[in-house]
Structure 1
Amino acid sequence: MTSPHNPVGAHVPVAGGLASGGLKYAAEIGAEAIQVFVANPRGWALPEGRPAEDEKLRARTDVPVYVHAPYLVNFGSPNAETLAKSIATVRHSLVRGRAIGARGVVVHTGSSVTQTYDEAMAQIHEHVLPLLEEIPEDGPDLLLEPMAGQNNMLCTKVQDLGPYFDRLEHHPKLGVCFDTCHAFAAGHDLAAPGGVKDTLDALVATVGEGRLKLIHANDSKDPCGSGRDRHENIGAGMIGEPPFADLFTHPATTGLPVLIETPGRAPAPHAKDIKTLKTLRDTL
């Protein structure tokens, strides 16, 4: 199922099991790579895995797998309990990700909430750097995903990744997940001529070559700079279809999986989005 260039895939539901449910849905929509939750995305529970399902997924080396950490995670929270749960949750995602053969664990970069930016970044250095040190050499990587731009977010523009990487001492297990909707909402005009190239150039200039590990391809319901994270199907939003073709031509994205997190009743709209992206990829 994997493309020799950029595998195109999706975040998939895992009802029935990570492998049994996730891979079945991937086949239905034509996904060549997948992203999964290994815990409730809106809770703090840390469930154990099912060894048989883990092994099935780990054995599918032709399908790149990624984990998305739960949405409640916030490394910048001033609340000690939230911070402790965030670290425990991401540690769980990393351990479970390793068990299923995931290449990376995606985590939102978080918000300072009521404390200062410097206070939040200091605690990220104190608590997240040791977490990175726990990751074995063969992964998975921890992939920072910049946010859309509301509520004292610590990282929205790709340039904001610079201080984040500095605080984490450019750890070798640290990477980036680039979300098109988030970037557009944060003010990167991907719909403008050359907008995708300019944004990815800025990302590479900020964190260095080889740090971009994954693309989330989502159109946006809202205009550039809105600060609102509302995904739309490919070509149906304010970014439009042509900029997604540019994702496949930038040197920094060579070989990287491109995953959708788009809306709609499954599986029809997701299959259509994947087909659209494959067409853009294969006609370049």
Structure 2
Amino acid sequence: MTTQKKSPIGAHVPVAGGLGTGGLKYAAEIGAEAVQVFVSNPRGWAQAAGKPAEDARLREGGLPVYVHAPYLVNFGSPNPETLAKSLESVTHALARGREIGALGVVVHTGSAVTQSYELAMAQIHETLLPVLAGLPDDAPSLLLEPMAGQGAMLCATVDQLGPYFDALEHHPKLGVCLDTCHAFAAGHDLAADKGVEECLDLLVATVGEGRLRLVHANDSMDVCGSKKDRHENIGKGHIGAEAFGRLLGHPSVAGVPFIIETPGRSAEPHKADVEELKRLRDQD
């Protein structure tokens, strides 16, 4: 019997004091085995240049690193300015990710807003595919993160990743970041007996094996199907600890890092969440 490769357990870390210095210090405080960072203001369009010494420190820190693109990015927007800024922002995040040795850049799948779904997907094909096509071999993957399902979201349930992957021609640099809170809010009942298996099996059937590259491990303040994106600490919400144990044991997540984005303004709750996920991962 072969033992499944264990998933590193980590967190989105604050980078006060420097991307490498501050990020790795916080990671050590909470016992993180992987980190996710912002490389620019997550709520703005300004693109920050890196500091080579900090980039090197993070790159050489020994932990898998991921970048989260700014929240404003929306490839489905009918607004030409928003679309242009979204493409610039993600191109910058991919370039910075390459400089810090990141494995992936997480981006929200976006909304059609006021235009049709079909026009939004055609726009993604025309504008985002060239960005992927221009990436060097050592660039990070672009990881699509489905949303909670509010409004005209282009992708919420995992089967909706299919048309998105089709629009981007299943580019080899394309992957998925599954947020457990988003999936639960969108209607995947991860707390049900077979809920985790059904969700992950459908994900693999939709986009293929090996495309799940990251998990955002967040419990949910709200019930399944709520379409509300409100994260809760592991085991304290409606998903529950048992579901995360099943998630960590599923073959499709073997070795895939888990990153918490759970509530807390200090290290203590994040350390507790990391420890709980490690406990669930390591149980017999």
TM-score interval for Structure 1 and Structure 2 normalised by the shorter chain: over 0.9
- Aligned-pair CA distance for 1:139: 2.4
Partner in structure 1 of residue 273 of structure 2: 273
Partner in structure 2 of residue 16 of structure 1: 17
- Aligned-pair CA distance for 1:217: 0.4
Residue 37 in 1 paired to residue 22 in 2? Answer: no
Partner in structure 2 of residue 214 of structure 1: 214
Partner in structure 1 of residue 192 of structure 2: 192
The Cα RMSD (Å) is 1.0
Partner in structure 2 of residue 244 of structure 1: 244
Q: How does 1:46-195 map to 2 (within 5 A)?
A: 46-60=47-61, 62-195=62-195
Q: Distance in 1 between matches of 2:6 and 2:235?
A: 22
Q: Which amino acid aligns with 1:151?
A: G
1:191 aligned counterpart, secondary structure: coil
Partner in structure 2 of residue 253 of structure 1: 253
- Aligned-pair CA distance for 1:114: 0.3
Query: Please, which runs of 5 or more residues in structure 1 have no aligned partner?
Result: none
Q: Distance in 2 between matches of 1:142 and 1:190?
A: 25
- Aligned-pair CA distance for 1:138: 2.1
Q: Which amino acid aligns with 1:13?
A: P
Q: Which amino acid aligns with 1:8?
A: I
2:196 aligned counterpart, secondary structure: helix
- Aligned-pair CA distance for 1:136: 1.2
Partner in structure 1 of residue 29 of structure 2: 28
- Aligned-pair CA distance for 1:134: 1.6
Q: Distance in 2 between matches of 1:221 and 1:135?
A: 38
- Aligned-pair CA distance for 1:102: 0.1
Contact 2:95/2:139, CA 8 A, preserved across alignment? no
Q: Distance in 1 between matches of 2:195 and 2:127?
A: 35
- Aligned-pair CA distance for 1:5: 1.6
Q: Distance in 2 between matches of 1:127 and 1:253?
A: 30
Q: Which amino acid aligns with 2:38?
A: F
Contact 2:13/2:36, CA 8 A, preserved across alignment? yes
Q: Which amino acid aligns with 2:237?
A: G
2:215 aligned counterpart, secondary structure: strand
1:216 aligned counterpart, secondary structure: strand
Q: Distance in 2 between matches of 1:123 and 1:265?
A: 39
Q: Distance in 1 between matches of 2:44 and 2:63?
A: 27
Q: Deviations over 1:73-113 (max 9, x none)?
A: 00000000000000000000000000000000000000000
Q: Distance in 2 between matches of 1:248 and 1:150?
A: 27
Aligned length: 281
Q: Which amino acid aligns with 1:12?
A: V
Q: Distance in 1 between matches of 2:36 and 2:212?
A: 16
Identity of aligned residues (%): 69
- Aligned-pair CA distance for 1:265: 2.2
Partner in structure 1 of residue 234 of structure 2: 234
- Aligned-pair CA distance for 1:248: 1.3
Q: Distance in 1 between matches of 2:60 and 2:135?
A: 21
Q: Distance in 1 between matches of 2:35 and 2:248?
A: 18
2:210 aligned counterpart, secondary structure: coil
Contact 2:37/2:68, CA 8 A, preserved across alignment? yes
Q: Distance in 2 between matches of 1:120 and 1:168?
A: 12
Q: Deviations over 1:208-241 (max 9, x none)?
A: 0010000110000000000000000000001011
